[in-house]
A and B are shown apart, each in its own frame.
Chain A
Amino acid sequence: MLFLLSLAARNLVRNLRRTVLTGTAVVAGVALMIFGWGLIDGLDDNILRAARLTYAGDLVLRPDGYPDDGLRFPLDQAAAVSPALTAKLDAAGPWTARTTFPARLVKGVDAQRVFVVAYDPATETRVFDRKSWRLEGSWPAADKPEIVAGSAFARLMELKLGDEVVLEARTRDGAINALNYTVVGVVRTDNTTMDNLSVWMEAPAAEQLAVLGGVRTQIAVLPTATPDVAKATLAGLGWTPLTLPEECDDLIAMNRIRRKSISVVVGMIMLIAATGIANTVIMAAFERIREIGTLLALGMPRRDVQLLFLLEGGVMGLVAGVFGAVLGSSLVLYWQANGMDFSSIVEKMAANMSMSVVVYTHFSWAPTLLSLLFGVVVAVLASVWPARYASRIVPADAVRAD
């Protein structure tokens, strides 16, 4: 077996150019497979990360029946945080509550729809460390009419630090209210929804603008227990808890479709690779009829001849697979460390997605080894028929073939 392996390897080296050309398709297929999976896994991570760091924590609660589409934030369905819930939340871990509601921002003659994100300055940073956010200027001072604008929204409205704007909003009982604010900061959270459509202010300021009466639209928790355990303790108090994966399931589902389309492309490349390998191995068998005849004449069993050609395909698959795996995981590891910045594309699409524009690919061993194995299996399978052909040669004729 070891001898056959060495013979197979030498035969591959003997026709190096052809081997390399054939192997390239396997390299491409395996690399793409690893990179594609790393990217999709990265997107999954990214969706979860963006949600965790900007609005959800590890567990998010909304009033029962409150829409979670991220497009409407109806104030009339907001709810107060009851003392019973507060006690449970305090027991569960750090938490904070926000109120998000629609408003109109007017600057000079320009006006634009916007969502106000009102946060509780006392508890906000217990859940959101804001480390990944980039703030230009400062957060609003306590009890001052100051706001921070989302970065893309600020660009759209050409807001600059120190600009005076008016926010118009409906109060909870339906009256229209308008107040003056100073833009003191511009923040980029990398959650595109928030950066495109939000302005931020402290809860007391929002109380004045929309007369909230203390209602909240979402609560984010970083439970000390697992999110699932915390979810169970917080259920049934008028608010619906969702763990992070549940909260993001629609976006994750989109990724599952992307994963499938990558698999189709990889499958097609592998089919091309398989055809190439089958072709190379059958050519090798045709070229080496006399050699095969000699091996048979010297008494090599037919199954060993078959194995020799399977090994030629398999070794090619393995070597090319390793190259592909190294290439694919290098790309994944590089972008895992540096992140792929999609901001220009995403901003052009004005996409309304709760995900970060910087995607960190996600390396893991399982898909890497699986892709490598896949490359080898494809190569071996492609060699089955040529190997069988080679082993069926009649030695009496073959030893004289030229």
Chain B
Amino acid sequence: MICELVDVTKEYPMGELKVVALAGVSVGVDAGEFTVFAGPSGSGKSTALNLIGCLDRPSSGKVLLDGKDVATLADEALGAVRARRIGFIFQSFNLIPVLTAAENVDLALRLAGDTENRAARVEKALVDVGLQDYLHRRPSQLSGGQQQRVAIARALVKKPAIIIADEPTANLDSTNGEAILELMREMNERDGVTFLFSTHDPMVMSRARRVVKLKDGHVVGDERRA
């Protein structure tokens, strides 16, 4: 198991009240999975991804990454874990606007402290997502679909344990969304890259090999397909 939530709760303070985003969730992800967290808005999908992605800490419970509990790590250590072990793909692409496609991808290697043969690996990652002709474009000179491809290359280039994608197709039209999903699925099948994402989109769910259903902060279903 690469990562696992063990009886995790997450509460957000809301004035006097508390919002319970996750109410005792246990779920694990194995290497090579292509898993989606599905569920209605507010069910806790993003919250669960944030915890697995080490972007946040749980209110209680354990977050295991490679068998080690990261829930209690300090900010800097958590950052180092993210830099080396986790790839992110965001709904709004989140490329650094002043950096070119290649520089955005390079940034991930730089922050991972992974300096070997950087230029060649950056180029390969961008070629792999079909952007060989766009290496030196800035994000503002790329379409949404192209930007998300750069984001995929940025997540992939450092060979993370898991790539976490919170609604990666939500800001794309259906054609581009499908193409992006196809690309991720291909990388999963060819290179065994582990993907974990969240979505509302039935198309995305239909492509997943495992669907974990969340509702009101609980896991209410876990379905595997061939």
Instruction: List residues of chain A with CB under 8 Å of any chain B CB.
Output: 3, 7, 10-11, 13-14, 290-291, 293-302, 394-396, 399-400, 402
- Contact B90 A298, beta carbon cutoff 8 Å: no
Q: Which 4 A-B pairs have the closest CB atoms?
A: A299-B83, A10-B98, A396-B56, A396-B55
- Contact A297 B82, beta carbon cutoff 8 Å: yes
Complex Cα spacing A115 to B6, Å: 103
Complex Cα spacing A394 to B78, Å: 13
The 0/1 profile, CB within 8 Å of A marked 1, for residues 175-195 of chain B is: 000000000000000000000
Q: Is B76 an interface residue (CB 8 A)?
A: yes
- Contact A298 B88, beta carbon cutoff 8 Å: yes
- Contact A298 B108, beta carbon cutoff 8 Å: yes
- Contact B55 A395, beta carbon cutoff 8 Å: yes
Q: Is B30 an interface residue (CB 8 A)?
A: no
- Contact A14 B98, beta carbon cutoff 8 Å: yes
- Contact A296 B98, beta carbon cutoff 8 Å: no
Complex Cα spacing A289 to B47, Å: 19
- Contact A295 B96, beta carbon cutoff 8 Å: yes
The 0/1 profile, CB within 8 Å of A marked 1, for residues 109-145 of chain B is: 0111000000000000000000000000000000000
- Contact B92 A298, beta carbon cutoff 8 Å: no
Number of interface residues of B (CB under 8 A): 30
The residue from B50, B80, B95, B166 contacting A299, defined by CB atoms under 8 A apart? B80
* B55 nearest CB neighbor, chain A only: A396
The 0/1 profile, CB within 8 Å of A marked 1, for residues 58-101 of chain B is: 00000000000000000110011111100010111011111100
The residue from A13, A14, A302 contacting B75, defined by CB atoms under 8 A apart? A302
- Contact A399 B94, beta carbon cutoff 8 Å: yes
Closest Cβ of chain A to B216, distance in Å, is 20
Q: Chain B contacts of A14 at CB under 8 A?
A: 97-98
Q: Is B23 an interface residue (CB 8 A)?
A: no
* A401 nearest CB neighbor, chain B only: B92
- Contact A291 B96, beta carbon cutoff 8 Å: yes
Q: Given contacts A14-B98, A298-B82, A301-B79, is CB(A3)–CB(B88) below 8 Å?
A: no
- Known A-B contacts: A298-B154, A302-B79. Give 14 more (CB < 8 A): A14-B97, A290-B92, A291-B97, A297-B82, A297-B94, A298-B83, A298-B107, A298-B111, A299-B82, A299-B111, A300-B111, A399-B55, A400-B92, A400-B166
Q: Given contacts A11-B98, A399-B90, is CB(A297)–CB(B75) below 8 Å?
A: no
Complex Cα spacing A132 to B107, Å: 66
* A395 nearest CB neighbor, chain B only: B55
Summarize A's interface: helix, strand, loop or mixed: helix
Q: Chain A contacts of B79 at CB under 8 A?
A: 296, 299-302
- Contact B112 A299, beta carbon cutoff 8 Å: yes
The 0/1 profile, CB within 8 Å of A marked 1, for residues 12-46 of chain B is: 00000000000000000000000000000000001
Q: Chain A contacts of B107 at CB under 8 A?
A: 298
Residue of B53, B83, B98, B112 most packed against chain A (CB within 10 A): B98
Closest Cβ of chain B to A6, distance in Å, is 9
Closest Cβ of chain A to B39, distance in Å, is 17
Complex Cα spacing A7 to B103, Å: 11
Closest Cβ of chain B to A4, distance in Å, is 10
Residue of A294, A296, A299, A395 most packed against chain B (CB within 10 A): A299
Complex Cα spacing A294 to B87, Å: 11
- Contact B90 A301, beta carbon cutoff 8 Å: no
Complex Cα spacing A105 to B98, Å: 79
Q: Chain B contacts of A296 at CB under 8 A?
A: 79
Complex Cα spacing A399 to B151, Å: 13
Q: Chain A contacts of B91 at CB under 8 A?
A: 400
Q: Given contacts A396-B50, A396-B56, is CB(A301)–CB(B76) below 8 Å?
A: yes
Closest Cβ of chain B to A365, distance in Å, is 35
Complex Cα spacing A296 to B86, Å: 12
Q: Chain B contacts of A13 at CB under 8 A?
A: 98
* A3 nearest CB neighbor, chain B only: B110
Residue of B91, B95, B97, B108 most packed against chain A (CB within 10 A): B97
Complex Cα spacing A402 to B93, Å: 12
Closest Cβ of chain A to B198, distance in Å, is 12
Residue of B55, B83, B97 most packed against chain A (CB within 10 A): B55
- Contact A299 B75, beta carbon cutoff 8 Å: no
Q: Chain A contacts of B84 at CB under 8 A?
A: 299
Q: Chain B contacts of A399 at CB under 8 A?
A: 55, 88, 90, 94
Complex Cα spacing A395 to B78, Å: 11
Q: Chain A contacts of B55 at CB under 8 A?
A: 297, 395-396, 399
